[in-house]
Amino acid sequence: MPTANKTRRQPVRATLTLSSKNYSSWSLRGWLLARFAGLDFDEVMVPPDDADARKELLLLAPSILVPCLTHDGARNWNVMAIAYYLDEIRPRAGLLPADRVARAHCRSVCGEMNSGFANLRSALPMNLKAHHPDYKIWAGAQPDIDRIVDIWTECLVKYGGPYLFGAKRTMADAMFAPVVTRFITYAVKLPKPCVAYCKTIMAMPEMKEWIAAAQAEPEEIEELDMEF
């Protein structure tokens, strides 16, 4: 009997849903993670007048649903879920360090960034088009800044830089990249090793690409364009 032709399923190209490139730190994290992993994906931009996306950007939403990575039947809408999913499907990308102890350390600092630093987010909203060199940091945000400096300093000393876990970029660098932009926007004073780390992150071609796209965005969110 003739053998029936079997149709091979064609993989569906991944999509990454994003909101504003100028204001959305979560979108930047998800996008960097996908790029670090070498995943080919199409960007799906949420319209600037989308009510839910606006609530997320203004920290008024109970949960962050953007970015959302859709790939091969799986949907991941939390940045840490995206990070772990990408590490699972692209283990050779090195989103987590190879060493067991370093992996535990990396997961811990990423989780801390994902769930903490609420005062920093409120006091220093991400805005890549802005520059406020005379910004007076709200006292409640300073402990968050100090903790981030401690994390960066420990990692840079322990693993030798130039990235947080050594010579190769990991998910930790994607998680803290938006913090780098905040520190630059608001001219936060940092120790020299942290300044050098900021320069390393900003020199990445992915960051340059993202920032150029952010600068080209026409929309503005008045509540996040603070005047000082």
Sketch out the chain's domains with CATH numbers.
14-220 (1.20.1050.130)
State whether the Cα torsion 91-97-102-104 is positive or negative: negative
3-state secondary structure of 207: helix
How buried is 122 (Cβ within 10 angstroms: 0-12 exposed, 13-18 middle, 19+ buried)? middle
**Share above pLDDT 70 across residues of the chain, in percent, rounded to a whole number:** 83
Q: Report how far apart, in Å, the C-alpha atoms of 98 and of each of 81, 102, 104, 106, 170 are.
A: 19, 7, 10, 11, 10
**Tokens coding 219:** 């929309």
Please state, as a whole number, how many other Cβ atoms lie within 10 Å of the Cβ of residue 36.
22
pLDDT score, position 110: 98
pLDDT score, position 61: 47
Give dist(CA 79, CA 19) in Å, integer: 14
8 Å CB contact between 110 and 83:
yes
pLDDT score, position 24: 92
Q: Report how far apart, in Å, the C-alpha atoms of 160 and of each of 50, 122, 204 are.
A: 43, 32, 18
pLDDT score, position 65: 77
∠ CA 147-201-199 to the nearest 5 degrees? 90
pTM: 0.88
User: Within the chain, which residues score under 70 in pLDDT?
Assistant: 1-11, 48-64, 219-228
Q: Which helix (H) or strand (E) holds 21?
A: none
